[in-house]
Structure 1
Amino acid sequence: MEPRQHRRNPRALEPVLRQWWEALARRSGFGRTLLLRRVIAAMLVGLAAVLALTPGRAISPDDAVVVAARDLAAGTVLEPGLVTLRGIPEQVVPDGAARNPSAVLGRTLAAPVRRGELLTDVRLTGSDLARTISTNPDTVSVSLRLADPGVATLLRPGATVDVVTVGERQDEPVVLARGARVLAVLEAGTHAGERASRLVLVALDPVSATRVAAASISQTLTVTFR
């Protein structure tokens, strides 16, 4: 047989409340203020205790999102050991957050991320990132390896540049694309004996992007700043 639970009769609190009220009425202005502060402080302490003991809403498996398992540099190709799932309340999950690791595996980071940081569509290279800085829904991204690696170190995401190559004559440069927007500057490995080189990811319309990609196969490229 379960033990009977005793409930305190609300009327039992009436004498206590009456004593507080009478004590408050007898106090002077300063004493009354001090007593009120003590009563309010006691009520707040009690409320805090109740809130601390009240269990929060459990995070369901549907709230899991993909986060970085450790600090990752821009240009990192995501592999299984580099990402993990973490449960986060739905109300704080940003738009575009990846829900399944398969959605990001094999993709390249467009910017550095910290351990535990959520991975969203605009953190990865691709059309979603390109459309964040262009109103043209057909905007695509294309990568450039510049003739002078030092130029890449001067570029920052959001910068506007023109893509240039050498024409048939050395003194006749050819502008392949105007108004390209820099999306990311990615670290890239180099072969022995070569200077450090980075890949620059830019957003362009499809026609210009195709022209730049074709030229990069056999021609040296650089950019001019706007």
Structure 2
Amino acid sequence: MVPAPSRLLARHRRPIAAILAGLAVTCGLLAVRSPAGVEVLAAARDLAGGRLSSADLMVVRLPADAVPDGALRPGAAAAGRVVTGPVRRGEPLTDARLLGPAVLAAGSPGMVAAPVRVADPDAARLLSPGDVIDVLAAYEGEGRQAYPVAQQVRVLTRPPSRADEGGALLVLATTPVQAAQLAQAQAQGRLSVAIHPR
């Protein structure tokens, strides 16, 4: 005689309840377990470049094999650092995107970051990080003839400039000698740029 379903259920009620309780605990643990991946800092919005604030940063989780080399992790001192160029929202931030040794390491050994102010902000707006330029200086009393001061130097960043500052600030990768020449020329004349084709 085949047992009735209600009797079968009553006989196996405890094992079934134990199985269901185990499934519920497993589902609960899966729900609260942190998702797999590595947390890194990324841009919280589109950035044009310039100094980072804490509002510019967010934490994203990436698969371990998708984390770029030099990615900044939560807790890294990123606020206050300077981004050398545009960054898209959600893009992970790496040491190669921030002004510092990693950016200069891409050039020749012994390079320095030299901030210079060029006279024409519209000319500076034509530049992007990575552009190669010549810096020219025009001095008072010399018929406004321009002289090359630093040739074939790379633009690291173009920080945002205020309208009341006059001109536009550029940060260039130069040798220490070029940096000294640029500082002297900036103190004595007006700087302009010539852009090398890419």
Name the TM-score, length of structure 2 as normaliser.
0.71
Equivalent pairs counted in the alignment come to 167
By how many angstroms is 1:144 displaced? Answer: 2.2
Query: Is the 2:139–2:188 Cα contact (8 Å) retained in structure 1?
Result: no
1:158 aligns with 2:130: yes
Match of 1:59 among 32, 36, 46: 36
Q: How does 1:109-120 map to 2 (within 5 A)?
A: 109-120=83-94
Gaps of 5+ in 1: 6-56
User: Shift of residue 143 of structure 1?
Assistant: 2.2
Aligned residue in 2 for 1:104: 78
Q: Is the 8 A contact 1:127 1:139 kept in 2?
A: no
Report the equivalent of 1:79. 53
Are 1:202 and 2:172 matched, yes or no? yes
Find the aligned partners of 1:87 and 1:128 in 2 and give their Cα distance. 23
Q: Distance in 2 between matches of 1:184 and 1:190?
A: 18
Structure 1 counterpart of 2:112, which letter? V
Distance in 2 separating the partners of 1:102 and 1:58? 21
Does structure 1 retain, via aligned residues, the 8 Å contact 2:40–2:71?
yes
- 2:139 touches 2:189 (CA, 8 Å); kept in 1? no
In the TM superposition, residue 184 of structure 1 has moved relative to its aligned partner by 2.9
Deviating more after overlay: 211-220 vs 112-121:
211-220
Structure 1's consecutive aligned runs of 4 or more residues displaced over 4 angstroms after TM superposition are: none
Q: Which of 135, 142, 158 is equivalent to 1:170?
A: 142
Matched, 1:138 2:151: no
- Using the TM superposition, give the Cα deviation of residue 74 of structure 1 relative to its aligned residue in structure 2, in angstroms: 1.7
Q: Which has the higher strand share?
A: 2
Inter-partner Cα distance in structure 2 for 1:85 and 1:130 = 26
Alignment correspondent of 2:195? 225
SS state of the match for residue 114, structure 1?
A: coil
* Matched residue SS, 1:66: strand
**What residue in structure 1 maps to residue 15 of structure 2?**
2
Partner Cα distance (2:171, 2:119) in 1: 15
SS in 2 for 1:91: helix
Query: Which residue number in structure 2 is paired with residue 185 of structure 1?
Result: 158
Q: What one-letter code is carried by the residue in structure 2 that aligns with 1:175?
A: P
For residues 101 and 214 of structure 1, what CA distance do their matches in structure 2 show?
40
Residue type of the partner of 1:211? Q
Q: Secondary structure at the match of 2:113?
A: strand
Q: TM-score, normalised by structure 1?
A: 0.63
Aligned in 2, Cα 1:170/1:85: closer, same or farther, shift over 3 Å?
A: same
The aligned amino acid for 2:142 is Q
For 2:120, the equivalent position in structure 1 comes to 148
Letter in 2 for 1:225: I
Q: Which amino acid aligns with 1:140?
A: V
Matched, 1:68 2:43: yes
CA distance in 1 between counterparts of 2:117 and 2:99 reads 16
Higher relative contact order (Cα pairs below 8 Å, separated by 6+ residues): 2
**Kept in 2: contact 1:126–1:140 (CA 8 A):** no
- Counterpart of 2:5 in structure 1 is none
1:194-221: CA deviation from partner (whole Å, max 9, x where unpaired): 76x4322221112212331343345321
